[in-house]
Amino acid sequence: MANNNEFVDLIEQGYRSKGESITLGAAMLGDETLTGSLVNIPLKTINRHGLISGATGTGKTKTLQVFAENLSEKGIPVLLMDLKGDLSGLAKPSPGHPKIDERHEKIGIPFEAKGFPVEILTISEQDGTRLRATVSEFGPVLLSRILGLSEVQEGILAILFQYCDDKQLGLLDLKDLKKMLQYATQEGKAELEASYGRISTASTGSILRKIVALEQQGAEMFFGERSFDVMDLCRLSDDGRGIISVLRLTDVQDKPQMFSTFMLQLLAEVYNSFPELGDSDRPELVLFIDEAHLVFENASKSLLDQLESIVKLIRSKGIGIYFVTQNPKDIPSDVLSQLGLKIQHALRAFTAKDRKAIKLAAENYPDSDYYDTATVLTELGIGEALVSALNEKGVPTPLVKTMLRAPMSRMDVLTGQELDELIRKSSIASRYNEIIDSESAYEILNEKIHNAQQKAEESKKESTQKKSARRSGMNPVLKVVTSAAFIRGVFGILNKVLRK
């Protein structure tokens, strides 16, 4: 009992918050849930980023759902990457269940079923509010990172962007960029080399092939107008709750380059658009990246460096980023070290490699006098997790096994009819789903090439006409003297004279 009391005191002191907080659940010691010993996460530290990890079927998605609901309740907008397609249920209240009531009775907080304000977003052919960005908004540096360009190729891309800026040519979509690459080594070669230096055909060909590879993953739907304003992710509902934007990515799972392209551009755009806030009392926006290993596993070193940089700097803008994945090792160590909140669901040890991975995962958490972390990781039940966070002063909280609360919304997907109705109610879908094809580099360069070809043809025709005119305007005497008949006649007379 003494141990129990000491543990309760430790948890209540460690997870006590003077300011606003959200409640994840109640502490557990062994198999016992300590009713009323609540695990609270201060809003002040939520922009310090976090991790939700665990094996398949251990409750990661439900934890993400609980987190998003509670943030919305506090008036904080949320963006969820829905790769499995099971988060749209946030829009409808939970039907409830006796087991949910039993769970909440153990935790010591009442259960209330409710739906939340949800915006459905898409970057593909799926229905929803469409997210787009122009090639110009990416810029040469970010685009080079995404395409994995060499230093020389990156320099060429920078020249092409500069040329387009100088000539006021809009780079809106990928066909604009491809046309610019072709123009630089064909019709516009002399012009560009005179102002910017030699551009290698081999390098532009390599860049073009990488763009085509990106297009094959569906990127042409993401590039273009109208560009999505990231400030629209920060909207509140009429009752003051944060809108939960659910980005449908079920058809992007097998297109990791497309997913990482979108993610990096979004983070860069958020970082550039949001004002500097320093150490604010609450986040402005929280992003949850489900299946986060897709962002990292195929990323080049330069792309990883860019991601790490953004993760480090973006928190001062009041933005929290949460990675959701199966194992902490899916996240690069430099990024993992930046994450203040860690929610670890069960890991399974089926092989020697699994056991080694569990030992490594246990080392990511503070030492505890009450848990053998590596052992507990294999014994956690569904809806239970080890939690380690930061208190309001930024100090790590005690490691605690937690009985997590249940989602207030539905824990399944909306029907097709419900989803269509939700999309129809959107206040921004009509604006972003309008197809815009402004005059840009593609059209301007095509016109420029056409005019140049037409001018060349006219010049050739004029030259031909002048030559013809010169021939037709010859002196009549000279024309006779130089004619073939006259020359043959002269040679005939000369032959007769010589024979005599």
User: Stretch 463-473: mean pLDDT, rounded?
Assistant: 60
The pLDDT of residue 192: 86
Distance separating the N- and C-terminal Cα atoms of the chain: 148
- Where residue 452 falls among pLDDT bands split at 50, 70, 90? low
Q: Report CA-CA distances (Å) from 403 to 102, 144, 383, 384.
A: 12, 45, 6, 5
Tell me the per-residue pLDDT of 360-382, one tens digit each, with 9 for 90 and over. Answer: 888 888 889 999 999 999 999 99
Q: Are 305 and 344 in contact (CB under 8 A)?
A: no
The pLDDT of residue 208: 92
Ranges 264-268, 313-317, 349-353, most confident: 313-317
Out of 85-89, 123-127, 434-438, 454-458, pick the least confident: 454-458
Tell me: pLDDT of 25 over 50: yes
Tell me the per-residue pLDDT of 152-210, one tens digit each, with 9 for 90 and over. Answer: 999 999 999 998 888 888 888 888 889 888 888 888 888 888 888 888 889 999 999 99
Q: Is the Cα dihedral 478, 482, 485, 491 positive or negative?
A: positive
- Where residue 462 falls among pLDDT bands split at 50, 70, 90? low
Cα(51)–Cα(365) distance, integer angstroms? 12
Beta pairing, strands 129-130 & 118-122? parallel
Tell me the per-residue pLDDT of 318-340, one tens digit each, with 9 for 90 and over. Answer: 999 999 998 888 888 888 888 99
Tell me the per-residue pLDDT of 91-144, one tens digit each, with 9 for 90 and over. Answer: 999 999 999 999 999 999 999 999 999 999 988 778 889 888 888 888 888 888
Q: Which two tokens stand for residue 395?
A: 């100090």
List the chain domain ranges: 2-132+225-432
- Of 475, 496, 479, give the one whose Cα is nearest residue 487: 479
Q: What percent of the chain has pLDDT over 90?
A: 41
Q: Which two tokens stand for residue 10?
A: 């430790």
Average pLDDT of the residues of the chain: 85
Tell me: pLDDT of 2 over 60: no
The pLDDT of residue 1: 43
The pLDDT of residue 167: 86
Higher pLDDT, 27 or 302: 27
Out of 92-101, 144-153, 423-432, 476-485, pick the least confident: 476-485
Cα(54)–Cα(357) distance, integer angstroms? 12
Q: Report CA-CA distances (Å) from 184 to 155, 190, 191, 400.
A: 13, 8, 8, 60
User: Stretch 410-416: mean pLDDT, rounded?
Assistant: 88
Cα(77)–Cα(57) distance, integer angstroms? 27
Q: Which residues pair with 393 in a beta bridge?
A: none
- Where residue 145 falls among pLDDT bands split at 50, 70, 90? confident
- Where residue 279 falls among pLDDT bands split at 50, 70, 90? confident
Higher pLDDT, 148 or 452: 148
Cα(222)–Cα(213) distance, integer angstroms? 14
| Record: fold of 2-132+225-432 | Rossmann fold (3.40.50)
Alpha-carbon torsion, ordered 363, 364, 367, 373, to 10 deg: -70
Cα(341)–Cα(498) distance, integer angstroms? 115
Phi, psi of 40 (to 5 degrees): -105, 140
The pLDDT of residue 214: 84
Higher pLDDT, 466 or 216: 216
User: Stretch 380-399: mean pLDDT, rounded?
Assistant: 93
Tell me the per-residue pLDDT of 66-78, one tens digit each, with 9 for 90 and over. Answer: 999 999 999 999 9
Maximum alpha-carbon separation in the chain: 148
Higher pLDDT, 183 or 26: 26
Q: Report CA-CA distances (Å) from 473 to 167, 466, 479.
A: 45, 10, 10
Tell me: pLDDT of 469 over 70: no
The pLDDT of residue 68: 96
